[in-house]
Structures are given as C-alpha cells and as structure tokens.
A = this chain, B = another copy of it.
Amino acid sequence: MSAPYQANAVLVGRKDTMNYVLAAIRLFTEGASEVVIKARGRNICKAVDAAERVKATLKDVAVRDVKIYSEEVEDDQGRKRRVSAIEIVLARSQGESS
C-alpha cells in the first residue's frame, strides 16, 4: 500500500470519467510534469479511459508507466477481500525524440 497522500495523484472513483480527465488536465496545466491516475476494482477501466483521454487532449503527455497490483480491503462486515488495482503514470514527454 502506498502513502495516504500523494501529490499529483488522481484517484478514480464513482464519478463520471470526465471528472478525472479534467482533474488530471488541471494538474498538468498547473505545472505538474507527472500525474498518477489510480483506481481499484471496477474503476480500473475508467482509469485507463481517463488516461487515454488526457493523452488525446494534451499532445505532449504520454504514458510513462503502468503498474497493476493487488490490495487487501475490508468490506462493511470487516471481512478482508483482495482487490486488483492500477496506477498509470502520465508524464510530459518534452525532449523525448528531440
């Protein structure tokens, strides 16, 4: 598990994909050189979708890294359950091909 707070991270939840696309674009336009989009379980597809839309909108942004892993979460009844998660690192690609 990662630190509870991470700068320039967008945690994808139940809202519409566009919310997360705009959040990531805002971070980039505010000067971030790297933005991490994270999601768990069913929201993983939404995270991939959001990353692809950010890439299509900001032409100098590319996917630097994608990690998949498992986390243990507790449900309402306190039972532990394994859940898949994803982290997509988007980065400005200045000077990549000169």
Query: Which residues from chain A sit less than 8 Å from chain B, CB to CB?
Result: 41-45, 48-49, 51-52, 56, 63, 66-70, 82, 84-86, 88
Contacting residues, chain B, for A51 (C-beta < 8 A): 68, 84
> A45–B49 contact, CB under 8 A?
no
Q: Which of B42, B67, B70, B85 contacts A66 (CB 8 A)?
A: B67
> A49–B84 contact, CB under 8 A?
yes
> B45–A69 contact, CB under 8 A?
no
Q: Measured between alpha carbons, how far is A88 from B48 in the docked complex, in Å?
A: 13
Q: Measured between alpha carbons, how far is A67 from B62 in the docked complex, in Å?
A: 12
Contacting residues, chain B, for A43 (C-beta < 8 A): 45
Known: A48-B68, A48-B86, A63-B68. 10 other contacts (CB 8 A): A41-B45, A45-B45, A45-B84, A48-B85, A49-B84, A52-B68, A52-B82, A56-B70, A56-B82, A66-B67
